Chains A and B, each alone.
Chain A
């Protein structure tokens, strides 16, 4: 199975900050990497797929990058509605696996 490791597990940031979350796969996953946002008590929401393609309706302050085994989600200017938990997910091979999550909290 491909293991997905996110860092950090949690972070505190202020509105307007640049936030970067990294995700490392235990082996190459080609371009099959997605990022999700989840707020408490709600379903996850797809932000980015294929490493860097923004899902329709997602603000442009979200961006993704990386290749092979190392990937990054960047929020260019953190907004109040961005405080949530973020997950990466690979779909290169079964079982599809998620990172453990990164909780973005208000500083």
Chain B
């Protein structure tokens, strides 16, 4: 059974940093693209970033470019999202998702990031 388990969310002040982690199981992590998708409270879904299976290519939504970094450690079977210079508008549930057949075919349960003073 495929599972994705996020961790690392919490309350942080504007301008602060946070690192999200995602622990996959049930599939060969090193062969898949992976992504982060977020959902602000009461709002729709927004793709944030994705990364090629070997970590060689990364893509970001414009609003997080230069502030967020997606990374993938195939040896440790882990996906990360380093978030710096956080803004109030980054407040959301962040989902880790497997990117297969150019869609997000498996999702974690999400971790809440709250940016507030």
Q: Are A43 and B44 in touch, CB under 8 angstroms?
A: no
| A71 partner residues in chain B, CB cutoff 8 A | none
Contact status of A45 and B62, CB under 8 A, knowing A87-B45, A97-B47, A98-B47: no
Q: Which of B15-23, B79-87, B103-111 contacts A (4 or more CB under 8 A)?
A: B103-111
Interface of B is mostly: strand
A96 adjacent to B95 (CB under 8 Å): no
B102 touching A32, Cβ below 8 Å: yes
Q: Given known contacts A94-B59, A98-B45, A100-B44, is B103 in contact with A44 (CB within 8 Å)?
A: no
List residues of A (12-51) whose CB comes within 8 Å of B's CBs.
32, 34, 36, 38, 42-46, 49-50
Chain A facing B: main interface SS: loop
| B67 CB, nearest partner CB in chain A, Å | 15
- Flag whether B46 is at the interface (Cβ < 8 A): yes
Q: Using Cβ atoms and an 8 Å threshold, which residues of chain A touch B102?
A: 32, 34, 49-50, 91
Q: Which of A34, A45, A94, A99 contacts B107 (CB 8 A)?
A: A45
Contact B95 A91 (CB under 8 A): no
Q: Interface 1/0s, chain B 22-59, versus A by CB < 8 A?
A: 00000000000001010000001111001000000001
What size tier do the contact residues of chain B reach?
20 to 34
A45 shortest CB reach to chain B, Å: 7
Q: How far is the CA of A47 from the CA of B101 in the complex (A)?
A: 13
- Contact residues in B for A43 (Cβ distance below 8 Å): 95, 107-110
Q: Which residues of the other chain, B, contact A95 by a CB distance below 8 angstroms?
A: 47, 59, 61-62
Q: Scoring B residues 62 to 103 as 1 if CB is less than 8 Å from chain A, else 0, what string do you get? A: 100000000000000000000000000000000100000111
User: In whole angstroms, what is the CA distance A2 to B37 when docked?
Assistant: 17
Ordered by A's residue number, 11 sampled pairs between the chains whose C-beta atoms are within 8 Å are A42-B109, A43-B95, A43-B110, A44-B37, A44-B104, A49-B101, A49-B105, A91-B102, A97-B47, A98-B45, A101-B44
Q: Could you list which residues of chain A lie within 8 angstroms of chain B, going by C-beta atoms?
A: 32, 34, 36, 38, 42-46, 49-50, 55, 87, 89, 91, 94-101
